Amino acid sequence: MNNIVSLKWLLARLYESDIVIVDCRFLMGKPDAGRELYEASHIAGAVYLDLEKDLSAPLDEDGHGGRHPLPDIFALTVALSRVGISNESRVVVYDDQGGAMASRLWWLLKYLGHEQVFVLDEGFTAWTNAGFPITAEQRVLIPSKYLATVQHTMLVEMAEVKELLGDERVTLIDSREAPRYRGEVEPLDKVAGHIPGAINRFWKDGLGESGAWKDADAQADRFADLDRDRELIVYCGSGVTATPNVIALQEAGFNKVRLYAGSWSDWISYSENPIATGDE
């Protein structure tokens, strides 16, 4: 599947009327930094959507839903409409975080039934280094109307994950770094470890040394030990960095892939849920 587009692909289509470019840069722990970076300089014509203000719901008081709960569908469609995204738009999303934030918007648009959405390979710094058009000017937003056709089968909730623990027809994939997966460190959440039975596939391993996405064959190599007939449930800390693994799995030809959007931060908000540490 073609979910990733090159810098030159976008350059050739930069001013086509149905293209909407979305800047998703965001720095964890510095919630205003992404917008400030956008306002200082961005790809010509790009609009900005914020991970926490636009692409997540407010935090639940009990911690349920995780650190980045899925946004309300209506609120999300309002945000998309506000920046000019319609059902007919070809949307190209980028960040400067290896595709993690951009992949969140990619997944959300797919979840809403939008097919024409792509992640820009390499990101903003590579675009700038290539000498391609950047600006500090913000385009005049012409609102559109976005109508969602929610693809419920792309999502899995905590109760179903718990019910499927130990089911041989399902593979859980933890997308965090190995030390967090093993429970050796936990910089963000209150409890360390992973969901019992999960295997570890760090999302950044989907990128090459240059920061570009690996091709379909290389992605397939990352997941060569997985049964293509099994259902795959992907999670991370808060449902953001799992989404690059969803893309990588699709690029590798896996079709039965769902996201546990609440992820680890949602799982541990239920004190009765089991926790594993070490390697599986």
Neighbours of 95 (CB within 10 A): 25
Asked if pLDDT for residue 264 goes beyond 90, the answer is: yes
Could you tell me what percent of the chain has a pLDDT over 70? 100
The confidence score (pLDDT) of residue 44 equals 97
The confidence score (pLDDT) of residue 169 equals 95
* Cα dist from 256 to 49, 53, 69, 206, 230, whole Å: 29, 30, 23, 19, 7
Q: What is the SS3 assignment for 177?
A: coil
Q: What is the mean pLDDT of residues 80-109?
A: 98
Element (H, E) at 112: none
Asked if pLDDT for residue 247 goes beyond 90, the answer is: yes
Domains, the chain, with CATH or none: 4-135 (3.40.250.10), 152-267 (3.40.250.10)
Could you report the per-residue pLDDT of 118-149, keeping only the tens digit for each? 999 999 999 999 999 999 999 899 999 999 99
Please give the positions annotated as active site: 236
* Cα dist from 189 to 67, 264, 265, whole Å: 9, 8, 6
Q: What is the mean pLDDT of the chain?
A: 97
How far is 47 from 97, CA to CA, in rounded Å?
A: 17
Could you report the per-residue pLDDT of 172-212, keeping only the tens digit for each? 999 999 999 999 999 999 999 999 999 999 999 999 999 99
Q: What is the mean pLDDT of residues 211-239?
A: 96
- What confidence category does residue 1 fall into, taking pLDDT thresholds of 50, 70 and 90? low
The confidence score (pLDDT) of residue 63 equals 85
Kindly state the tokens that stand for 247.
Answer: 């893309």
Kindly state the tokens that stand for 194.
Answer: 């992973």
Q: What is the mean pLDDT of residues 16-29?
A: 96
Neighbours of 58 (CB within 10 A): 12
